[in-house]
């Protein structure tokens, strides 16, 4: 005779994990990451704290799952935007437009990613920006920049990736968070942002 609840199937465990992530994402958006405890997540997900800790090490672990899911979506959309027959400037524009449009279509994702600090909590922690999905996304951008700036060194391309990322995030931030200012249309802002690549 078996005591306790029956073990969840792999599919059931994944579904429960996805539900916990979705609930945590909503709570982080509504209350802020710092204000949400693991106990609150467990309560809203209707699981025990012990069950929650069987799936996630800590609250930051949940946030990293959320960030990975979001950046996986962004990366996938940017990859799908690649049109090999397009000229290299059009490829760069397309990547940047898809990247920017993603955040504008999903402002809640922008808030979860960019309005929460990625503070290291434990010895051995790494910053999320070092996650493979993020480095792959920025490698894609680097390839697009390299195609239009053939004369630049690797360090110059790296700097261009960082600067362009900051500009794109700045546009998204202004349009999403500081939306009381009439910044202009996203497409116009993007064209201005990319002018030095033409």
pLDDT per position as a tens digit, 99-150: 999 999 999 999 989 988 787 877 888 888 888 999 999 999 999 999 999 8
pLDDT per position as a tens digit, 44-54: 999 999 999 98
Given a cut of 60, whether residue 77 has pLDDT beyond it is yes
The domains of the chain, with CATH numbers, are: 8-56 (1.10.10.60), 59-197 (1.10.357.10)
Global pTM reads: 0.86
pLDDT per position as a tens digit, 155-177: 999 999 999 999 999 999 999 99
Q: Among residues 110, 92, 78, which one has the least CA distance to residue 175?
A: 110
Which of the two residues, 9 and 162, has the higher pLDDT score? Answer: 162
């Amino acid at each position: 005779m078996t005591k306790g609840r029956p073990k969840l199937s792999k599919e059931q465990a994944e579904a429960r994990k996805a539900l916990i992530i979705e609930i945590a994402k909503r709570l982080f958006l509504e209350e802020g990451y710092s204000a949400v405890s693991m106990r609150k997540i467990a309560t809203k997900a209707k699981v025990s704290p012990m069950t929650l800790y069987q799936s996630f090490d800590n609250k930051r672990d949940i946030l990293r799952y959320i960030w990975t899911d979001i950046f996986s979506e962004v990366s996938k959309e940017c990859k799908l935007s690649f049109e090999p027959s397009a000229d290299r400037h059009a490829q760069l524009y397309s990547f940047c437009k898809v990247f920017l449009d993603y955040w504008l279509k999903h402002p809640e994702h922008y808030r979860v990613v960019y309005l929460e600090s990625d503070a290291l909590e434990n010895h051995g922690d790494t910053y999320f920006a070092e996650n493979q999905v993020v480095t792959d996304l920025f490698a894609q951008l680097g390839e697009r920049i390299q195609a239009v700036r053939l004369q630049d060194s690797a360090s110059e391309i790296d700097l261009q990736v960082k600067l362009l990322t900051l500009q794109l995030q700045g546009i998204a931030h202004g349009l999403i968070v500081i939306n009381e200012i009439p910044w202009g249309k996203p497409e116009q802002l993007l064209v201005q942002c990319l002018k030095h690549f033409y």
